[in-house]
Structure 1
Amino acid sequence: MRKNVIIECPTNLGLAQSDYAIEPGVKRLPKWLERHGLYTAINPSEVYVIDTPEYTMDLDTTTQVRNANAIITYAKRQAQIIEKELSNNSFLIVLGGDCSILIGSALALKKKGRYGLFFLDGHTDYMLPGHLGTHGAAGMDLAIACGVGHPYLVNIDNQGPYLEEEMVFCVGNREYNLEYERPIMESNVTYYPLNQLRDYGLDNVTSDFLNIVEQQELDGFFIHLDVDVLNDQIMPAVDCRQEDGLSYEELKQILIPLIKTEKCIGVEITILDPDLDSTGVYTKEFIQNMTNIISTRG
């Protein structure tokens, strides 16, 4: 069995200041998960820590994305470690931070071969700076990974696009606004917002994705898990709360068939903010469920 490797990416550069914090607390997520037992439960053979960059609200006028240069630098450092561990055939558990860590993950995947992405998130993250008032990369990470955005971000090391849209499933959005959804609906990404996901069937969606992985003879696939895809009652410790969301049983129904396959090379976890879960009650339940899911992997 492949060894578990944890890669800590505690960056918050992709988020803007909020009404509850001058600096988003997601940078403390990896150590928070360690404190509440995740590392003990999954017993990683190696833990990498990519140092947290200094948080700013700097708006890069060229890309119209906050902290663009720092995000690019961070993505390159992250990609180097992921590339190394992909060569070692490790199972990757990449811990954010915010969703901008997808850029580094996707860059590494492109450098190593041809990979798919199962993007599980309460938002599409498929936006352009002009359509996103915060100018935060965490709201446009999927678009960047698919080559949509400024060349500085979408073509790092001349590798863009990092992902083929046809090999990406975006699942779980529940911001049902036509203008918000239009960019991803007009893309070649396979898109299932939460309401359509339930109508079509969770098993059908995962089966369709795995069929594409097989038919296209991909080298593998990666899972992005933003915890705000979960129901707000069981995971309110996120920066952008919304009604509804997946239950843990639904999350297991989606993730277990994916993680059990040899083609799954890892998962990244983002957005859970320790500042919004002071007792750890929501974190502990999340860890218990994720540990059960990861333990099923092939």
Structure 2
Amino acid sequence: MKEICIVEFPSNLGLKEPQPGKEPGVKNLPNWFWRHNLHKAIDHKDVLRLDPPKYTTNRDSETNILNANALVDYAREQAYLINNLLSQNKFPFILGGDCSILLGSAIALKQKGNYGLFYLDGHTDFMNVSLSETGGAGGMAASIVTGNGPPKLTNILNLSPYIKEENLWCAGNREYDDEYENEIRNSSATYLSLHEIRKQGISNAVQTFLTEVKNKNLDSFWLHIDVDVLNDSIMPCVDSRTPDGLTYEEFNELTSYLFQSPKLSGLEITILDPDLDATGEYTKNFVENISATFKKHFGTLGS
């Protein structure tokens, strides 16, 4: 079984300020997870940390995206770190940060080969900058890594697209708005809204993805988890709350199928904001659920 390396990317570069003069608190997530015993629960060999450039509220004049230059610099450093881990056949278990940390992961994957991306999120994050009210790259992450958007972000190191659009599976969105959803509906990505996942059944949906990974002979696939895919009643400490969402029973079933696959090369967890979970109760429940599922199923098909 692969050696697990916990990687901390405490970046909030892809989000707007929650209120004037206040930075998004998601930058404190790795420390918050440590405090709530995720590091103890995951059997890891090493912990690596890469701090991001300074957060600002400035929109880049060229792209109209917040912190664009800082995101590029950070993504290059992230990619170097992840590439090294993948080259050593290690499993990066990444703790964000906001969804923009995907840029570094995706660049590393492109440097290694042809990868799939299972994007598990309560939003599609497949949005053109013209539709974004905030200019935050976190809300465009899936779009950017598939080559859609300003070249400054989509073509770092001349590697666009980092993930081929047809190898993106966007699952769990419940922001039901035609203008928003049409962006991904009109792409060659596979789009599974929360409604569609429940309609197909979790097992059928995930097995179709895993079969596609096999049939396309992809080198492997990456798992992105935005905790806002969870039901708002069990995970309200996120920046963009939306009613409904996966229950822990559904989430654990879905992730268990992915964790079992020998084709899973790494994962990242994003968006939980410690500032919005004063008692830590929501974080504690999340840690208990994901660590139990991961430990039970990780690599079982490959062992």
Partner in structure 2 of residue 155 of structure 1 = 155
**Alpha-carbon distance in structure 1 between the residues aligned to 2:2 and 2:294:** 12
Deviation at 1:20, TM superposition (A): 8.5
SS at match of 2:267: strand
SS at match of 1:43: coil
Deviation at 1:19, TM superposition (A): 3.7
**AA in 2 matched with 1:79:** A
Partner in structure 2 of residue 238 of structure 1 = 238
Q: Which runs of 5+ in 2 are unaligned?
A: none
**Alpha-carbon distance in structure 1 between the residues aligned to 2:253 and 2:64:** 38
**Alpha-carbon distance in structure 2 between the residues aligned to 1:218 and 1:257:** 18
**Alpha-carbon distance in structure 2 between the residues aligned to 1:30 and 1:77:** 18
Deviation at 1:286, TM superposition (A): 0.3
- Which 4+ stretches in 1 moved above 3 angstroms? none
Partner in structure 1 of residue 256 of structure 2 = 256
**Alpha-carbon distance in structure 2 between the residues aligned to 1:187 and 1:212:** 17
5 Å-filtered alignment, 1:1-16, equals: 1-16=1-16
**Alpha-carbon distance in structure 2 between the residues aligned to 1:12 and 1:71:** 10
**Alpha-carbon distance in structure 2 between the residues aligned to 1:73 and 1:253:** 37
5 Å-filtered alignment, 1:1-298, equals: 1-19=1-19, 22-295=22-295, 296-298=297-299
**AA in 1 matched with 2:213:** V
Q: Cα–Cα, structure 1 residues 177 and 291, in superposed 2: closer, same or farther, change >3 Å?
A: same
Q: Which runs of 5+ in 1 are unaligned?
A: none
**AA in 2 matched with 1:3:** E
Q: Cα–Cα, structure 1 residues 202 and 44, in superposed 2: closer, same or farther, change >3 Å?
A: same
**Alpha-carbon distance in structure 2 between the residues aligned to 1:261 and 1:135:** 35
Q: Cα–Cα, structure 1 residues 167 and 34, in superposed 2: closer, same or farther, change >3 Å?
A: same
**Alpha-carbon distance in structure 2 between the residues aligned to 1:21 and 1:140:** 23
Structure 1 residues 173-193: Cα deviation after superposition (integer angstroms, max 9, x where no partner): 000000111111100110011
**Alpha-carbon distance in structure 2 between the residues aligned to 1:51 and 1:178:** 37
TM-score with structure 2 setting the length: 0.97
* Superposed CA RMSD: 1.0
Structure 1 residues 243-291: Cα deviation after superposition (integer angstroms, max 9, x where no partner): 1000111011111111111110111000000000011100011001110
Q: Does the aligned pair in 2 maintain the 1:27–1:52 contact within 8 Å? A: no
Paired residues, what number?
298
**AA in 1 matched with 2:170:** C
**Alpha-carbon distance in structure 2 between the residues aligned to 1:199 and 1:45:** 40
**Alpha-carbon distance in structure 2 between the residues aligned to 1:262 and 1:254:** 16
SS at match of 1:65: coil
Deviation at 1:21, TM superposition (A): 7.0
Deviation at 1:294, TM superposition (A): 1.4
SS at match of 1:217: coil
**Alpha-carbon distance in structure 1 between the residues aligned to 2:73 and 2:52:** 12
**Alpha-carbon distance in structure 1 between the residues aligned to 2:73 and 2:273:** 23
Q: Name the % identity.
A: 50
Higher mean Cα deviation, 260-269 or 19-28?
A: 19-28
